[in-house]
Amino acid sequence: MTSGPADAGEAMGSAARAPTGGMPPSRDRGAPTEKGTATPPPGTGQAAVGAPVITDVAGLQTVIDTLAGQGYTVIGPTRRGSAIVLAEIGGTQDLPQGCGDSQDAGTYRVTDRRDEAFFGFAATPQSWKAFLFPSRELLWSGAAAPGRLTVTPDPAPGKPMAFLGVRSCDLHAIYIQDRVLLGRAYTDPRYAARRADAFIIAVGCSDPSSTCFCVSMGTGPAPSAGFDLSLTELLRDGRHRFVARAGSERGAAVLACLTAPTAGPDDLSAAQAVTDTAAAHMGRHLDTRGIRDLLYASADHPRWDDAASRCLSCTNCTLVCPTCFCASLETVPDLTGEHLTRQRVWDSCFTSGHSHLSAGSVHGTTRSRYRQWLTHKLASWVDQFGTSGCVGCGRCITWCPAAIDITQEAAALRVPAPHDPAPGGEPA
């Protein structure tokens, strides 16, 4: 049986540590935004702590070294085989320098940028979810004797993690997972501990891919808040530099180790130009006007059958989505039955087991499963959590082996069905 985290039962506590530092998420269940779509910016008020500074590659290495010296495992982008993935890094030499990417529906290729950029690519195959909400996690192990079960909780995760290169879309995704996993009656103590410890270094996006649409979702491309440090990479006049700003006191403390000069007006305008260029190069657009009501009114739209004819029900979209949080709980006994473990593993609304009840699966067809996913992501998520479930990162488009495009599917629902009086006329 599968459940969302709120139902994840016995291992959850309500006294989890609140995230500190980087992102103080607003805990109130905000009312749905007017159009029911845009994600509110994480955090509130003034993001910057102190003036922006200008630094270089050696300065970035100092940041990494400083964090490692403080006990953080530093995780950032690195080239591995055919992709730029997120993994532990030791320094700037591990970053995918000169690598870009070319993404489209169902296609991803690493490209050669012919420059020195460390962060000249768009969304990585997997998001930071893989670290904050890992795919498989031991919750407890136990010993069973006749009439008695002794439970040993798995110790909370050890080393704190520092994330280098978090894009604005993914910052918003973390904020959304905070709402799901921390902002409700029951919190996930392991997520809370990792989240509280995580040091976030955001990077302003310079090269969105053809599957990006963060501008449509109001989630990027420039990080606005919710980070400890934020970098904008500048490659001008043969100089490789970064405009860096602190978003928290601990971020300011790390920046202070650099003794970097305050960024000048030219640097700041160059950084702004990076953001402006990125915003102007969104590969996709999602029309969010009235989208919540559109989805609700489209339950019987024939487009679902069309989507189902292409959908593989393979789960890839949900597992690469940085906000999807569904998990299943497994109890695994050994042969003797004397020892057992309880584990949480990623699950997906595209499996038949996800909605399995005594009479079978509630979502027994791919049409039903795809409709459930898109309707939750773009509509009922708003009612449930106060934000859209989509941040426009485009991963579900790129990593769909069948090249299904969420922006196209949503747009198709606006086209009235034959014999249908209005777009999404009568709710089913």
Partner 1 sequence: MRKLAVWKFASCDGCQLTLLNCEDDLLPLTDQVEIAYFPQATRAVAAGPYDLSLVDGSITTPADAERIRQVRAVSRRLVSIGACATAGGIQALRNFSDIGDFSSAVYARPEYIDTLATSTPVAAHVPVDFELNGCPIDKDQLLTVITAFLRDSKPDIPSHSVCVECKQRGTVCVMVADGIPCMGPVTHAGCGAICPSYGRGCYSCFGPQDTLNTRSLAGRFAFLGMPEPAVARTFRTFYAAAPPFATESSMHSGGGR
Q: Which of 125, 189, 247, 394 binds partner 1 (CB under 8 A)?
A: 125
Rule CB under 8 A: say whether 350 interacts with partner 1: yes
Instruction: Give the residue among 80, 133, 77 at the shortest CA–CA distance from 319.
Output: 133
Rounded to 10 degrees, what is the CA torsion of 310, 313, 317, 321?
A: 150
**Minimum CB–partner distance for residue 212 and partner 1 (Å):** 16
Q: Which of 18, 332, 362, 415 binds partner 1 (CB under 8 A)?
A: 332
Q: Which of 126, 224, 341, 372 binds partner 1 (CB under 8 A)?
A: 126
The per-residue DSSP string of 28-39 comes to S-PPPPTTS-PP
Position of tokens 């904020």?
Answer: 175
Residues 12-51 as x/- pattern, contact with partner 1 by CB under 8 A: ----------------------------------------
| Residues pairing with 231 in the sheet | 203, 244
Rule CB under 8 A: say whether 362 interacts with partner 1: no
Starting at the edge strand found earlier in the chain, the sheet holding 327-333 runs: 2-3, 327-333, 339-346, 136-145, 148-153
Task: Count CA atoms closer than 13 A to 34's CA, side-chain side.
Answer: 1
Instruction: Give the residue among 58, 70, 273, 85 at the shortest CA–CA distance from 160.
Output: 70
**Minimum CB–partner distance for residue 125 and partner 1 (Å):** 5
Q: E strands within 113-196?
A: 136-145, 148-153, 161-166
Which lies closer to partner 1 via its Cβ, residue 101 or residue 228? 101
Encoded tokens for 15: 């006294």
**Minimum CB–partner distance for residue 75 and partner 1 (Å):** 12
Instruction: Give the residue among 53, 396, 46 at the shortest CA–CA distance from 258.
Output: 53
Q: What is the Cα–Cα distance from 258 to 137, expressed in whole angstroms? A: 37
Q: Which of 97, 272, 352, 380 binds partner 1 (CB under 8 A)?
A: 352
Residues 62-81 as x/- pattern, contact with partner 1 by CB under 8 A: ------------------xx
Rule CB under 8 A: say whether 9 interacts with partner 1: no
Rule CB under 8 A: say whether 8 interacts with partner 1: no
Q: Which of 69, 238, 337, 421 binds partner 1 (CB under 8 A)?
A: 337
Rule CB under 8 A: say whether 415 interacts with partner 1: no
State whether residue 241 is helix, strand or coil. strand
Contacts of 55 (CB under 8 A, 6+ apart): 241, 242, 244, 258, 260
Helix (H) or strand (E) holding 191: helix 189-197
Q: Which of 109, 159, 236, 285 binds partner 1 (CB under 8 A)?
A: 109
Residues 292-331 as x/- pattern, contact with partner 1 by CB under 8 A: ----------------xxxxxxxxx--xx---------xx
Rule CB under 8 A: say whether 150 interacts with partner 1: no
Which lies closer to partner 1 via its Cβ, residue 136 or residue 285? 136
Q: Footprint of partner 1 on this chain (CB under 8 A)?
A: 80-83, 85, 106-109, 125-126, 130, 135-136, 308-316, 319-320, 330-337, 345-346, 348, 350-353, 366, 369, 398-403
